[in-house]
Amino acid sequence: MKIAIETPFEQFQNDIADVVRLFYGEGAAVAKEEPHDAVLTHIHALEGTKWKESFSLSGMLSHPALSLSGEAVSDGGLEEKRQLKRLIKRCAYLLLKEVTGRRPAWGSLTGIRPTRLYYQQMEQGKTRAEAREALCSLFDLSEEKIGLLDEIITAQEGLIKRPPHACDLYVGIPFCTTRCAYCSFSSGEIGNGRLVEPYLDALFREIDLCSEMAKDMGLDIRVGYIGGGTPSSLSTAQLDRLLVHMHQRFGPLEELTVEAGRPDTLDEEKLSMLRSHPVTRISINPQTMNDRTLQTIGRAHTAAQTVECYELARRLGFDDINMDVIAALPGEDYTMFAYTLERIAELAPDSLTVHTLAIKRSSRLHEQKYRQQEEDVARMVALGRETAHKMGMRAYYLYRQKYMAENLENVGYAKPTSICRYNIDNMEETTSVLALGAGGISKCVMRQEEKILRAPNITNIEQYIQRVDEMVERKREAFAYKAAFLSRMAEKGDGHDHQR
């Protein structure tokens, strides 16, 4: 089904298209000029103090207009745009819900971070129960998803408020041994490793310059994350040098995660080296425990290697190990996913991230025109949740991406003592991040202004190596802006950059 959208608001065209995709899938919303089966027509009116939105369908999906009214906001700014967008999306959603007889689990909500909406309700002075009720009626969220949000808000209690100068450190290693079929990151295959040493030289320079900058600006860095790519695709000596260098420049961190994602990049020597550093958490990611799928998705390891590697890490004393799995991988049905979860439960990691496959445009699966499997995905995701609960974990963060099967979500579950602060900070965007390495995106969070200034590093590895000083300058400008903002706040007598 191809549906063309007619709206007086060009700026909301994509938002309405998101709603169309919720019901009719990827590629269903097309431009008016393209061949289509139906037209979704939007009419906007101002009646007294109220906006009135109407949506109707003509063509193959003929349906009379459905209208919704809402109190008009006329501040000419962000709030006006937000409220109008919400009303428009809700109206389009209700019409398509009526036409299809379907109710998506996340209702009309197409955003990346649903928890933010929950927090917004609470910031307006609502109790938890009132916030839940408001979300249900505003977005038609299912009980199940409200329950999930509720679990996350509870897990984040006491962790979400950070002082204004708090800043997390991210270091990216953009190399992997092979490229996963679903990967949309800019990471390169490590190949013969010719770029690794020049990359590390550039990275060390960025670490040196940024640690000085962090000191000058009084950034309080206690949480770190080495991600990628696959950081453990570096040799033991290279990774050791990196950890030593980070420690020398930034001092000891209270929390430091190293994504040791691929079991084929780990051995006793490398894991022992990681243990000799103050690394508090590692991630060993099976994605699936089915060997055939591992081959299909281009991962150069077996399920047996995952088990071996996990057991070795435990023997060496790692007491905070995360595992990632992906629901709806190519060729996997519910039974195969259930098998993966059973095997994971036997291993008993400290945290589990349950992803739903998203086929991004830059992935090999997209190139191969792989059609997403929609059947049973919701059941798989629900089983992931059940398994995490059985292992004594609770959901503590979630995010949604475009192109996910059934528009579902990625959820991080953890035992209460294994909550990764970086993940909360990063997903909720409540704390600034100093991101180093190719593709890292630094964020300066100024919640009082509802503003996040981003300073992205270039993703191309060779370009990054040549232009590292420029990357540092971008960050310096962004953090200087935040420093000036904080001092303006302090002058006004409000020294707090209201972090939730």
Residue numbers at the binding site for ligand SF4 (CB under 6 A): 176, 179-180, 183, 185, 187, 228-230, 261
Residue 183 C-beta: closest distance to ligand SF4, Å: 3
Nearest-angstrom CA–CA distance, 410 and 347 = 21
Minimum CB–partner distance for residue 360 and ligand SF4 (Å): 10
| CB 83 within 8 Å of CB 49 | no
CB of 222 to ligand SF4, least distance (A): 26
Output Rg (C-alpha) for the chain, integer angstroms. 24
CB of 468 to ligand SF4, least distance (A): 21
Cβ closest to ligand SF4, residue 228 vs residue 412: 228
Question: Is the CB of 176 or the CB of 200 nearer to ligand SF4?
Answer: 176
Choose between 115 and 356: whose C-beta lies nearer to ligand SF4.
356
CB of 20 to ligand SF4, least distance (A): 29
* Neighbour order of strands in the sheet with 29-30: 29-30, 3-6, 38-47, 50-59, 63-71
Q: Which is nearer to ligand SF4, 181 or 445 (CB)?
A: 181
Structural tokens at position 373? 């499997």
| Residue with smaller CB distance to ligand SF4, 115 or 322 | 322
Least distance in angstroms from the C-beta of 143 to ligand SF4 = 33
Distance from C-alpha of 239 to C-alpha of 350, rounded to nearest angstrom = 24
- Comparison of 114 and 227: residue with beta carbon closer to ligand SF4: 227
Residue 70: strand pairing partners: 51
Q: Closest CB to ligand SF4 among 209 and 436?
A: 436
Q: Provide CB contacts within 8 A for 152, sequence distance 6+.
A: 115, 395, 396, 397, 398
Residue number closest to ligand SF4, CB atom: 183
Tokens, residue 281: 């958490």
Residues 283, 437, 446, 492: is their CA dihedral positive or negative? Answer: positive
User: Least Å distance between CB 173 and ligand SF4?
Assistant: 10
